[in-house]
Amino acid sequence: MHKVITISELRETVREWRKQGKSIAFVPTMGNLHAGHLKLVTEAGKRADKVIVSLFVNPTQFGVGEDFESYPRTELEDEKKLESVSTDLLFLPSVFEIYPENPVTTVTVSGLSTLHCGAHRIGHFDGVATIVSKLFNIVQADLAIFGKKDFQQLAVIKKMVKDLNIAIEIVGVDTEREHDGLAMSSRNGYLSSQQRKNAPKLYQSLCQARDAVLQHTESYPAIETACKKSLQLAGFEVDYFSICKASNLELATENDNDLVILAAAKLGKPRLIDNVFFEKQ
């Protein structure tokens, strides 16, 4: 595995691969890697000749009072994990390398960025769209791999790529889960032992809501309300629990068939997100 810290080094390597006719897959991460990340890298290796992984904790997607400074940085451990899967190049840029000289340009995906997480984390998806567009421009890969755990982030990136005619294929990979159903996340490490026992209830509530939708037992607002109350009783502070159209993440009606149920809730300090997506017959 080759490691670079500058954009010029990365581009030089990519130019050599292109001369050799190699296809390139890209997996952007913020580090503190777990099995879910490694699943993305493995999938990238199946789809392209060369795989680039970036480790970059992006400051512009953290809001005031969020955990940018305390976000876990585990570069040495991450490098060892990446060496065990199909990583050809690791990109480890500094903040100044990515954001030199006080940049003022921001990428905004209107509409999608203000729903759900965007309503609770103002500006978050502007930071996501900006860093992802910068990384796509730097790496110039054929495809990029993202997890479906952050369903809204994936939707924002897909819309940005389409609207800006960026020549890259976006591939979503199913969420990797712990044995009890909890979606793997770098923030799970913040959970206390008791919170960790309660955390799987978020996914359980999503599955219960999905089953209720499929069984047509209650209205969508009633299902959402019941699940919110259940989570609150379990100690969660619920930001949202919403039954949505998978196509645009707007609230669904009972006439919609392609659905995703999105949820975000704090359990103590950590904010957990998860979803289930399905087709209603």
- Alpha-carbon distance values, 184 to 39, 63, 164, 166, 267 (Å): 11, 22, 31, 29, 15
Tokens matching residue 145: 């791999």
Distances (CA, A) of 196 to 79, 147, 202, 219, 270: 27, 22, 11, 31, 11
The pair of three-digit structure tokens given for residue 110, joined into one six-digit string: 């209107």
Q: What is the pLDDT of residue 69?
A: 84
DSSP 268: S
Q: What is the pLDDT of residue 67?
A: 75
Q: Angle, to 10 degrees, between the axis of helix 124-139 and the axis of helix 151-163? A: 60
Q: Which residues contact 241 (CB under 8 A, 6 or more apart)?
A: 205, 209, 224, 227, 228, 231, 261, 262, 263, 265
Is 37 annotated as catalytic? yes
Q: Class of 186-276 per CATH?
A: alpha beta
Token readout for 118 is 């965007």
pLDDT at 263: 98
**Alpha-carbon separation of residue 57 from 31, 49, 61, 67, 136 (angstroms):** 7, 26, 9, 11, 16
CA dist 233 and 230 (Å) reads 5
Q: What is the pLDDT along the chain (281 residues), one digit of tens a residue?
A: 999 999 999 999 999 999 999 999 999 999 999 999 999 999 999 999 999 999 999 999 998 778 788 788 999 999 999 999 989 999 999 999 999 988 999 999 999 999 999 999 999 999 999 999 999 999 999 999 999 999 999 999 999 999 999 999 999 999 999 999 999 998 898 999 999 999 999 999 999 999 999 999 899 999 999 999 999 999 999 999 999 999 999 999 999 999 999 999 999 999 999 999 999 97
When computed from its CA atoms, the radius of gyration of the chain, rounded to whole angstroms, is 19
Query: Given the structure tokens 């997890």, which residue do they identify?
Result: 147
Q: What is the pLDDT of residues 206-254, one digit of tens each?
A: 999 999 999 998 999 999 999 999 999 999 999 999 999 999 999 999 9
How far is 244 from 155, CA to CA, in rounded Å? 13
Domain 2-173 has CATH 3.40.50.620: yes
Q: Please report the pLDDT score of residue 248 as a whole number.
A: 97
pLDDT of residue 86: 85
Q: Tokens for 212?
A: 């209720």
Report yes or no: 242 and 172 within 8 Å, Cβ to Cβ. Answer: no
Specify which residues 241 forms β-bridges with. 263
Give start and end residues of each alpha helix (H) in 216-281: 220-233
SS3 of residue 1 by DSSP: coil
Instruction: Single out the catalytic residue among 37, 116, 120, 216.
Output: 37
Task: Report domain extents, the chain.
Answer: 2-173, 186-276
- Three-state DSSP at 28 gives strand
The total number of residues written for the chain in this structure: 281
